[in-house]
């Protein structure tokens, strides 16, 4: 009697596995995976374009920043569509979407970037924790609040020196470290270095 139960259990397990494998190879499922792959490639491209717009030899002019801002908004609109369609999947997807939104002009977009970067970190993306901290600090700065982790270096005009701006820095370096953010002393040293150029 015991062997009949074992055979029945094995047969049920075999049928369940067989059904699962057949479902995975069904055209509708593979199309979904293909669509996710296309979205991942598009998000990566949007991210690369975002980063390219922030790679320059000398500070951009006001006119150049306006062109960058226009491209940022186009990228932002597409990322919002992808998020709305529920097409983020991997840690890379969440990270790429977060980075694009972090550079958008609206504070709501920056808060969304913080949320997405946090998910990227949960999914194991190496830069997710740092971007989560950076988006939070940027959101706080954008809403006239003091940053908490020290990721934002601020200069309101080209004539002003760089600074960390309003900074509620009571959190210890051990908390910054969890986010991949340098300690307070390194942040101050970076400000000095930026102003020495």
- Check whether residue 134 and residue 152 sit in a common domain: no
- Mean pLDDT on 115-133: 97
For residue range 67-116, list pLDDT tens digits in order: 999 999 999 999 999 999 999 999 999 999 999 999 999 999 999 999 99
User: Which structural domain range is residue 41 located in?
Assistant: 33-143
Q: What is the pTM of this model?
A: 0.79
- Check whether residue 119 and residue 192 sit in a common domain: no
- Check whether residue 49 and residue 138 sit in a common domain: yes
- Check whether residue 71 and residue 101 sit in a common domain: yes
pLDDT for position 32: 63
- Check whether residue 120 and residue 178 sit in a common domain: no
- Check whether residue 39 and residue 134 sit in a common domain: yes
- Check whether residue 76 and residue 167 sit in a common domain: no
Phi, psi of 163 (to 5 degrees): -155, 175
Is 24 within the bounds of a domain? Answer: no
Whether the CB-CB separation of 97 and 50 falls below 8 Å is answered with: no
* Residue 163 tokens, joined: 């600074």
Is 95 within the bounds of a domain? Answer: yes
Residue 153 binned pLDDT confidence (cut-offs 50, 70, 90): very high
pLDDT for position 27: 41
């Amino acid at each position: 009697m015991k062997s009949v139960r074992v055979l029945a259990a094995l047969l049920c397990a075999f049928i369940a596995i067989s059904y699962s494998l057949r479902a995975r190879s069904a055209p509708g499922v593979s199309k979904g995976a293909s669509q996710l792959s296309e979205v991942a490639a598009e998000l990566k491209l949007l991210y690369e374009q975002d980063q390219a717009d922030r790679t320059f030899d000398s500070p951009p002019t006001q006119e150049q920043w306006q062109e960058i801002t226009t491209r940022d908004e186009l990228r932002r609109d597409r990322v919002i569509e992808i998020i709305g369609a529920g097409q983020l999947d991997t840690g890379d997807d969440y990270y790429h979407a977060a980075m694009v939104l972090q550079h958008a002009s609206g504070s709501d977009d920056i808060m969304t970037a913080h949320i997405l970067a946090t998910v990227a970190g949960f999914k194991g993306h190496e830069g997710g924790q740092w971007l989560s901290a950076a988006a939070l600090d940027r959101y706080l700065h954008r809403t006239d609040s003091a940053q908490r982790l020290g990721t934002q270096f601020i200069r309101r005009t080209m004539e002003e020196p760089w600074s960390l701006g309003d900074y509620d820095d009571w959190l210890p370096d051990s908390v910054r470290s969890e986010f991949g953010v340098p300690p307070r002393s390194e942040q101050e040293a970076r400000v000095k270095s930026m102003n020495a150029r």
